[in-house]
Amino acid sequence: MVYILLAPGFEEAEALVPADLLRRAGIETALVGVLGVFAPGGHGIAVKVDCAMTQVKLDQADMIVLPGGGMGVHNLESEYAVEKLVRQAAERDIWLAAICAAPTLLGKWGLLQGKKAVCYPGMEDKLTGALVQKDQGVVTDGKIITGRAAGSAFDFGLALVETLAGKEAADKVRGGIHY
């Protein structure tokens, strides 16, 4: 199961494009409401979530995904339950993925130490401990995948598919959407 955490103000493309691509690949994916049944995106698109934070089961998790969006990342950071979940996932060696401003949370929580990572341009100084990869759209290092910004959403989502289901599955999804 892939859990994509949605806090108010999340960047819609960075959450919904990966969710769509994962589901096209047949990977069970849940949109998780950090603060309620509906998650309002940063551009006024409200999304009805599949489950609440309290329903996330780490023993069933293959990956936790943190989308960006300035206010969304602020709201993710404001909820201690998010940090606790992400830290527990890291301890259990569950894949972590974050895009745009969200990789800065992984840095703040000490999860990027010595790892290659990318984030929204201009926020690189907040990737605490990371080996910043400014010219990359998506970077995988160990069990962490980071993406640059909304413009990287398709590449990010396809990287998640490839990680969990293999290159053939990612290529099939890529072909199916004519990307």
pLDDT for 13-33, tens place per residue? 999 999 999 999 999 999 999
Give the pLDDT confidence score for residue 61 in this predicted structure.
98
Overall average pLDDT of the 50-58 stretch: 97
CA 4-7-11 angle, 5° bins: 75
Give the pLDDT confidence score for residue 14 in this predicted structure.
98
Give the pLDDT confidence score for residue 160 in this predicted structure.
98
Q: How much of the chain, in percent, has pLDDT values that exceed 90?
A: 99
Give the pLDDT confidence score for residue 19 in this predicted structure.
98
Give the pLDDT confidence score for residue 66 in this predicted structure.
98
With beta carbons less than 8 A apart as the criterion, state whether 59 and 81 touch. no
Distance separating alpha carbons of residues 148 and 103, to the nearest angstrom: 9
Q: pLDDT tens digits, residue range 96-118?
A: 999 999 999 999 999 999 999 99
Give yes or no: 119 in active site: no
Overall average pLDDT of the 62-90 stretch: 98
Other CB atoms closer than 10 Å to residue 161's CB: what's the count? 25
* DSSP strands (E only) in the chain: 2-6, 29-33, 38-40, 46-48, 51-52, 63-66, 95-99, 116-117, 131-132, 138-141, 144-147
Q: pLDDT tens digits, residue range 127-142?
A: 999 999 999 999 999 9
Strands 138-141 and 131-132: unpaired
Give the pLDDT confidence score for residue 97 in this predicted structure.
99
Other CB atoms closer than 10 Å to residue 139's CB: what's the count? 22
Write down the mean pLDDT value for the chain: 98
With beta carbons less than 8 A apart as the criterion, state whether 101 and 119 touch. yes
pTM over 0.85: yes
Q: Choose the catalytic residue: 15, 73, 89, 100.
A: 100
Give the pLDDT confidence score for residue 49 in this predicted structure.
98
Tokens standing for 43? 């551009």
Q: Is 71 helix (H, G, I), strand (E, B) or coil?
A: helix
Distance separating alpha carbons of residues 129 and 127, to the nearest angstrom: 6
Give the pLDDT confidence score for residue 16 in this predicted structure.
98
